[in-house]
Structure 1
């Protein structure tokens, strides 16, 4: 049966990992291996929080090393184990390496269009919402003035809200507001607890019932599964809080820089294969405050049309001219480059002071991967600067988890500026900029974030150090002393100079001096076995769900290796139905639905966010739900070969390992 968390034998991450390893060893000795965490079943609504439990082992009656009741376990019994946050999966077949194959050209994502009747009914749906919404506004302002006070002039004051600007929010989003901003409780790991609620007034207000529902979480950017309340990173955070406290100490220029920040920046530079790096306390602000320090008046920014809002804000603040090219379309980019270089600046036609191209490594709304090799070929030809936003690709892609350059096998120093965030793969907060030392020194002075933003809080920096070091692995061997690269000589906790060691070539492990001496990591994290397991599980899950949904007949966007999988719903009414049906299944599933203005009007979608914490059984659960709901909502509109669900589940490994189709 299950024992409570207070069991002294497994009170640390190291002892828990050791217990799991011993359980696997015993299972192999008995001739069988527990392939994964048991599949989830039955809804689990609870009225009070129960302690997480750990699996208790008995050799005599448990050949698999994982003990369950004689009868099939209930959903709540499964969910209250340690695997609620990171599912156990020992089957090595359910692994894949995220890496572009040089044997095949970079495949373009073929975006299929739905049948005309789907588009027609989608437009009709919006027309009906707009027509009846304006009619209700017209009548309401005249016969229910009290309810429309916020949209009317009152006692000489202008209306607080424009009825036209707030129309979409009031007439469409409000109807499906129960699908957004759902309150949650606890760690957003493999599973998550939803706070149950209902609305007595058509979603204008929400009332909490006091109950909580444990659900499978396919909605968080927890790519490597570091969102855990137990584990080596958590232990490091606790120790860091004891030493540094929980709050930041003002901005970087106000003396908020600690030795932790210096160590983190040096480790980020090493992780990305760059000379230097700086970190910021907010991912959005990293782009919006750094881009104005890179370009200004007389410069040109060429931006992918689907770049993130933070990039758009930064470009606007810079005062530089901006042009956009079609998403991931290299022909469109080259044509635009020829035009802007030949024409020069508007009116004067003088040469541009600087041309900066900004792209993303992985586009989170489309699931597409940038064609970086093709852009670098254009860079050699046209001599522009390149800025790559790796918010979603760093840590999640590449055989070593180093991002899009690692995925393609490209030297990261061929890119001028690498930007990323710590909020996804690393389970922390904030962002970074990595580049040459001259560039970073300039950005420390000219960037707004250094002067006006607060320093990253010490617990967050500790999480960054621990998670990044676990991905890299630690080289504990002290090598001969060599000339030190800039900002790579790290100080220890007592500010004494750290021993100088020879770094391994990129993408090698980090030297032991890169971490504070009080931050111990278990052997599985030091030798990269833990990070390789996480990276390969994430790659398998991403490829499996992408290809399986297409085989079921759904229209999806994105590359096969993307951990973000958009499934097209088109009709706005289907967003709410899809979300509610997923949430009310026997095994509740939490998803993200996305609509206009985040997407084009007729391409509403559900966006699955995969994690290394998910097991193959979890993906099967999602596929089963999608298969049933897809038939109900008439969502299977893709053209091509289809497989039945049973065949997809049985041939999952074969499906994942099929070669790319150009």
Structure 2
């Protein structure tokens, strides 16, 4: 079970850099040759190393000569920078947002109303997998208790924190801390890795090792850049250059870096009011309230919505912030089986007919709380069926869209957009800015009377920190980029729009266009006059590309893993793809084998108590910044490691890896995968 931690010696898997070309003439000649080869091939090759950093236009196994142009980053690493072909000019850094000009690698995330809303059945592994998993836990528990028994008597100094001494009780109970000390500690090198730089398509890990079996971690001084499938950077807005970054820099120049305390302790900035108005427009709601922390958005707002005498009906897999907020409210709570509408309807019939406990009086209000996308399972809420139940049983509906907003729907508006449901038929929409928008904080959106009430009675407004100006700028710029920006009529043909927006502080006096209907564009008057608005942000082309690339990547990886024979949970359109590992020992091995490949891949392994004890998993968090070649690399690594660790226990038809890579577009566009 225990695996010796990595030593500080240099890894033999570290990728070697390619020597530079000697002259500019040879460099330009190489670019010309690669351009000609790309056009001659007429498409993108099946696979290429994800960290070759070549674009999907120029990528080719024989184009390694183009890896000569290297530049040093602030992180001290040296990595190649490959120029695009003459037909494509990319404004992004390839290590942060992958260059991909192939329009066939696009897909629109949208529910087909002609087909029933179906959940994804969860497969069970063979019995021998479950048996060995239980035996593994049993061995760890038995040997762990034996070590505690003898350690308290033979190594008192090492167990001082578990023993009473000097009249004080033990600081920790050996039973309460048993899981942390005897299981998590063994695989602790897979968790809490320090990183540096931009968490985009790639990320830089600070190397470390442990001299005492993971009790402490010592930095080795090295750094490793690898493919990043561990960040919630769904739309790829984690970038060091671009429209959002320019807006943040300008905001820092004007407002500074930090917030000034709670919203009631200081004057509310104009940015706060503009951000709340823009969020409401983006969601198609009357008004919105923003908070500086996503967890606090739920835990402080729910007590302001319900209280004693009210009933909260919660999905059994709802996030901890929802559970915490319900406990603080004092309301009664009942849970229904995850995403099971029959279970929900049966519970609604029961609670409405029986009323409150003891008195059987009617409930003051019934609030149903669900999530748009469940991040541990990758499942989407069955919103059309819930809306039918809402019409029938007259309850209030609260949707937590922390992971779905920006990541789902043809316009990036979340599950309402994905299912083509009018957002105003939902009573409360909650979400965070930490995933798709590359910022921090959260929001609550609803009708104006409700939001005004929450401003007074919700604790987030009275006691929480105000959002810092750069974060507000990031939220507004990324959200406006998704929406697209409608410029005033007189400015549409003006070539100096960029200069006007960057340097003019005066309010525009030109009559703007009529406010567009949901889910339309944002008006320029909704944004600060100093905020830069590049052409790609105004016309929405950049974000349409991001949304379609994310949808392609999610379906390709999800379906590709299933075709390889893995057991995965979740919906095909979910940007979080959980792959089941089951055995606790396989979590550590899978993470380490991914991290030490020639092309390092950084993943997130999740275990108890975040998941049930026997359903440990790895979660691939996909982004629009990943290219098709990146997904090929992940599939190839998973295929090899899956054979070694005996992870391919799924049912259904299987395809070989090369067939999956060659038929990727066909696989993504299938209505159903056999």
TM-score > 0.5 by shorter chain: yes
- Provide the rounded CA distance (Å) in 2 between the counterparts of 1:246 and 1:47: 21
Q: Counterpart of 2:116?
A: 105
Within a 5 Å distance, the mapping from 1:27-426 to structure 2 comes to: 35=44, 39-40=49-50, 49-50=76-77, 55-56=82-83, 82-426=93-437
**Secondary structure, aligned partner of 1:83:** coil
Asked whether the 8 Å contact 1:42–1:586 carries over to 2, the reply is no
Instruction: Work out whether 1:639 is the aligned partner of 2:639.
Output: no
Asked whether the 8 Å contact 2:568–2:580 carries over to 1, the reply is yes
Asked whether the 8 Å contact 1:104–1:660 carries over to 2, the reply is no
User: CA deviation digits over 1:174-228, x for unaligned, max 9?
Assistant: 0000000001110110000111111010000111111100000000000000001
2:594 to 578, 582, 588: 582
Deviation at 1:31, TM superposition (A): 6.8
**Secondary structure, aligned partner of 1:629:** helix
Decide whether aligned partners of structure 1 residues 215 and 599 sit closer, same or farther in structure 2, where only a CA change above 3 A counts.
Answer: same
Quick check: 130-139 or 29-38, which moved more? 29-38
Deviation at 1:53, TM superposition (A): 7.3
- Provide the rounded CA distance (Å) in 2 between the counterparts of 1:525 and 1:46: 27
**Secondary structure, aligned partner of 1:623:** helix
Aligned structure 1 segments of 4 or more residues deviating by more than 2 angstroms: 26-48, 50-57, 62-67, 492-502
Deviation at 1:50, TM superposition (A): 3.9
User: CA deviation digits over 1:531-550, x for unaligned, max 9?
Assistant: 00000000000000000000
- Provide the rounded CA distance (Å) in 2 between the counterparts of 1:281 and 1:365: 24
- Provide the rounded CA distance (Å) in 2 between the counterparts of 1:302 and 1:49: 52
Deviation at 1:82, TM superposition (A): 2.0
CA RMSD of superposed structures (Å): 2.8
**Secondary structure, aligned partner of 2:50:** coil
Decide whether aligned partners of structure 1 residues 243 and 133 sit closer, same or farther in structure 2, where only a CA change above 3 A counts.
Answer: same
Decide whether aligned partners of structure 1 residues 280 and 48 sit closer, same or farther in structure 2, where only a CA change above 3 A counts.
Answer: closer
Decide whether aligned partners of structure 1 residues 301 and 85 sit closer, same or farther in structure 2, where only a CA change above 3 A counts.
Answer: same
Q: Counterpart of 1:561?
A: 573
- Provide the rounded CA distance (Å) in 2 between the counterparts of 1:470 and 1:66: 19
**Secondary structure, aligned partner of 2:536:** helix
Asked whether the 8 Å contact 2:439–2:471 carries over to 1, the reply is yes
Asked whether the 8 Å contact 1:55–1:82 carries over to 2, the reply is no
**Secondary structure, aligned partner of 1:647:** helix
Instruction: Work out whether 1:528 is the aligned partner of 2:532.
Output: no
Q: Counterpart of 2:470?
A: 459
**Residue-pair matches, total:** 615
Q: Counterpart of 1:75?
A: none
- Provide the rounded CA distance (Å) in 1 between the counterparts of 2:608 and 2:220: 30
Q: Counterpart of 1:515?
A: 527
Decide whether aligned partners of structure 1 residues 372 and 340 sit closer, same or farther in structure 2, where only a CA change above 3 A counts.
Answer: same
Q: Counterpart of 2:500?
A: none
- Provide the rounded CA distance (Å) in 2 between the counterparts of 1:65 and 1:298: 62
Quick check: 200-209 or 47-56, which moved more? 47-56
**Secondary structure, aligned partner of 1:612:** coil
**Secondary structure, aligned partner of 1:154:** coil
Asked whether the 8 Å contact 1:47–1:210 carries over to 2, the reply is no
Q: Counterpart of 1:488?
A: none
**Secondary structure, aligned partner of 2:592:** helix
- Provide the rounded CA distance (Å) in 2 between the counterparts of 1:495 and 1:201: 63
**Secondary structure, aligned partner of 1:640:** coil
User: CA deviation digits over 1:287-327, x for unaligned, max 9?
Assistant: 00000000000000000000000000000000000000000
In structure 2, stretches of 5+ residues that fail to align are 1-17, 21-31, 54-69, 491-503
**Secondary structure, aligned partner of 1:108:** coil
- Provide the rounded CA distance (Å) in 1 between the counterparts of 2:537 and 2:570: 31
**Secondary structure, aligned partner of 2:156:** coil
- Provide the rounded CA distance (Å) in 2 between the counterparts of 1:566 and 1:170: 26
Q: Counterpart of 1:73?
A: none
2:479 to 437, 458, 468: 468
Q: Give the structure-2-normalised TM-score.
A: 0.87
- Provide the rounded CA distance (Å) in 1 between the counterparts of 2:179 and 2:52: 37
- Provide the rounded CA distance (Å) in 2 between the counterparts of 1:496 and 1:223: 34
Q: Give the structure-1-normalised TM-score.
A: 0.89
Within a 5 Å distance, the mapping from 1:616-627 to structure 2 comes to: 616-627=628-639
Decide whether aligned partners of structure 1 residues 255 and 172 sit closer, same or farther in structure 2, where only a CA change above 3 A counts.
Answer: same
Deviation at 1:255, TM superposition (A): 2.1
